[in-house]
Structure 1
C-alpha cells in the first residue's frame, strides 16, 4: 500500500512498505531534464547529476563509493528527458546512512572547478562512446527530427559546444532554479519502520529551502515529419521510423502498450517474426513507445544490411497495413494483456522497480496507481480502444525517419515519405 506525506517545505514523500524483504530502495527525484534546457545550456541537467558524485564538504568522491560498497549497497543516478533521479539500494538496517548520503550529495556537493573540468572530459568521452553506437545515434536523430521545435528533441548528454561553455556558476545557477523541495519527490520502497524513516527524512530534508513552486505548464508539441540521415563508416544500416504517440497519464497508454507488444515489442511480435525469424533480414527489429507529459512518439527500429533496406521497409509497411486494415484478433489482445500483466507483476518483485514506479508517477503525474488498479486498467482494454489507437498511430500516414549508414539512403526514404508507407 502506498502512502504519501508532504513536508512543510512542500517536499513530497511516497512510500511502499514491503515487510517480507530485507532491503530498501530510496530515490530523490527532481523534475528537470533535457526538456527544461535550451540551446545554450543543453546537457546541464546531466552534468549536474555527474557532479553530485564528485565530492561534498563531508565526503570525497572516493568516500561516497567506499561507504556504499562497504555496506554492500548500490548507488547510482540517471538523467532523462523530464526528470533526474539519485538512488540507493541498501539492506534495511542501513537506511539512515542511505538518507544521509543522498542529503549530503544534494545539499553539500562542492562543485570544485578542477573536478568540473575533469568531469567535462568524462562526459565528452561519454558522447564519443554514444557516437560509436550507430543504433543509439539513429534513435537520437529521430527524436531530434520529430521534436525539432521542442526541447524534447535535445540530447540528454548535451553537445560538445554546450558542455565547453558550462562553468561552476552556470551549473549552480541551474541547480538553484530546479533543485527545490516543491520540484522534488523522495520515494522509498522496501522494509522499514514508517515512523523512524519519516523522522530521518524530515531531519535531513525539512531544512531544504527554495523558491515557490515552479509553474507546471505544458508546452505545445508539434511533430515534424521528415527525414534525416547520418553517414558513418559502418557495416549495417540503422533505420528508425517515428509516429505521433500518446501523452503520459492518458487512458490510451494501455491500448498503445498492447499494440506495441503485438507489432514489435516482443520476440513473438509480428515484425520480429516476419523480418527476423521468417526472412532472416535483420538481427534486431523492434518497436517501442516514448511517453512524455507533452506528448509521445512511437518508434520502429531495424538494423539491417544496406542492400535490404527496400525489402525491410516494404515488410514494415505490410505489417502496418495489416494492422490498420485488420486490427488484432481477440487471441492476440488477450495474449498481449497477459504479457503486460506478467511483466508488470514481475517488476513488482524488485524494490528498485517499485521505488522508481511510485517516484516517477508522483513526480510527473501527481498520482500513483495501485497494482490492483493497474491490472484492472489492463483487463479493461477492449477492441474498440485498440482500433482507435491503431488509427491514431498510423491512420494519417505521417511519419519521420532517421537512418545511419555508410551510404546515403535519403532518396529511398524520401520516396517512402512522399507516397506514404502504405
Structure 2
C-alpha cells in the first residue's frame, strides 16, 4: 500500500493490502450500509463495531417540528442493551458472557458505536445480536424510566470527579457555543426531561441502513461477513432491497468559534486543583495533524516530554501532567492538564503557557524530533496488536476522514515533519485565545497572575 486509500461513498467495492499483509476490504451495499473489514494474519479474535455518525453535537432544542433531543444519543446507547422483540436484556448479556466475549458501546461527540470482541468462531453470533439490538430495540417504557435513573447516577458519578468536571468545562470554555462544547451525556435536567417519544424519534431518524457502518478487524472473511450481516439485518426487519445512498460525511471546513471565557473556576474542597489550559486546535482532516502528533509527543506525552520535565521532574509541582490534541470534523483543541496543590496552581498554569511559548519562539531540537518519531512509531505499532484499535481505525476512516492510512503511511507522514513545522504550529497555537479551567480548592485571586498572562477576560463560575 503506497499512500492513503480514498473511501468514496459512491464506490461499491474496494480491496487492498495494508501494512503487515493485512487485507482490507470495503463494500457499500445497495441499501447504503457500509461494511469494512481488516483481515489480520494469525489473529484468532475479532472485534466488530456497528457505527452511526450521530453524537452529542447532533442534538438540538425543541422547535415546532421536533422535540428536544439533548441527552438522547447517550440515552439511546443505554437502551439498545435493554431488549428487543426476540431477546431480553439478560439474553443479550448471556450471549456474550457464554463465550467469554466482551460487548459494550460508546457515545462520542460525533458518533455512536456498539461493539463486541469474540473468538473468530463466535463472529456470526456477535453480528446476529448486534444486528438485533441495532434494528429492533423496543425502548420499553418501563426500561426507559429505569435507565433514566441509571444515567442520572452515571452523571452524578462524573459530577463527583473533579477531573471529569474540569474536562467538561474545558470543552465549553475553548469551543464556546459550538455543539462540540456540550457534554456528551447531557445533564441531569435534560435527562429528567427526556421522553420516550423524543428518544424513539431520534432512533428512527438516525438508525437506518444509509446510516450504518459496520467495521470488523481480526480473523474475518469479508464475503462471509457481508452475507451474515445481510441475513441478520433482513431477519430483524430491514428491507435491504430498497436502494439508498450512504449519508454524506460532515463538512470538514473549520468552524468559526466564539471565544469562551479566559478563566473558569469551579470551587471544590479537594486536595488538588485540576488545571486545564488550552486553545482551539486542528480539525481531524487538517494536513498538519501529523505535525500536531509530533508536537504533542515532544511537548506533553511521556516522561521525557517538556511538560513532564519542567513541571514534575525539575520542580515537583505535579504528579500527573500531560498534553492532548483531539480533532473533530470542524474543530479541535490543544490542551494541557496538571493536578497540583492549590497554592501552586497559578505557578503551574503559567509554566504550561510559558513552555508552549518557548516552543513557538525557539523551536525544538533534532533529537526531540527523532525521539518523538520513535515514540509515535512504537506506540502505533503496539496499539495495532489489538483488534479493537484496528476496528476503531476503520470506523474513524469511514465516518470522518474519508481515507484509510495504514501504519506505514502514518509513519511516512510523521517522518516528513520538520523542526520548522513543529515551531510554526506551536506559534499558530500560541496566537489563539487561551482558556484556563481550574476545579478544586482555589479561587480567582490565586489564579489572577496566570490569567493576566493569558487574556484580559475573566469569567468565574
Rounded to whole Å, the distance in 2 between the matches of 1:383 and 1:414 is 30
- Of 249, 255, 274 in structure 2, the residue corresponding to residue 238 of structure 1 is 274
Q: How does 1:170-189 map to 2 (within 5 A)?
A: 170-189=198-217
Note the alpha carbon deviations across 1:157-206, whole angstroms, 9 max, x for none. Answer: 10111111112211110111111222221001111233222211121236
Report the counterpart of residue 345 of structure 1 in structure 2. Answer: 381
> Normalising by structure 2, what TM-score?
0.87
Aligned to 1:203: 231
Aligned residue in 2 for 1:418: 455
1:157 and 2:157 equivalent?
no
1:291–1:160: structure 2 CA closer, same or farther, 3 Å change rule? Answer: same
- SS across alignment from 1:158: coil
In 2, Cα distance between equivalents of 1:190 and 1:324: 42
Which residue of 1 is the match for residue 259 of structure 2? 224
Aligned length: 419
| TM, length-normalised to structure 1 | 0.95
Structure 1 residues not aligned, in runs of 5+: none
**Partners in 1 of 2:130 and 2:297 — Cα distance?**
37
Task: State the distance in 2 between where 1:77 and 1:242 align.
Answer: 29
Which of the residues 380, 404, 419 maps onto 2:439?
404
Deviates more, 1:95-104 or 1:33-42: 33-42
Aligned with 1:333 (options 347, 353, 369) = 369
Aligned residues of 1:29 and 1:184 also touching (Cα < 8 A): yes
Helix, strand or coil at the partner of 2:404: coil
SS at match of 2:276: strand
- Superposed CA RMSD in Å reads 1.9
Structure 2 contact 170–437 (Cα < 8 Å) conserved: yes
SS in 1 for 2:275: strand
CA distance in structure 2 between the partners assigned to 1:99 and 1:134 by the alignment: 38
1:383 and 2:419 aligned: yes
| Aligned residue in 2 for 1:145 | 173
Distance in 2, Cα, partners of 1:316 & 1:196: 52
Task: Give the deviation of 1:147 after TM superposition.
Answer: 1.6
2:358 aligned partner = 322
**Is 1:32 the counterpart of 2:60 in the alignment?**
no
Name stretches of at least 5 consecutive residues in structure 2 with no aligned partner.
1-22, 62-67
Which deviates further from its counterpart, 214-223 or 272-281? 214-223
C-alpha distance in structure 2 between counterparts of 1:373 and 1:215, whole Å: 25
Q: 1:208 to 1:359 in 2, by over 3 A?
A: farther
Alignment of structure 1 residues 354-369 onto 2, 5 Å: 354-369=390-405
Tell me: CA distance 1:397–1:144, structure 2 relative to 1, closer, same or farther (3 Å): closer
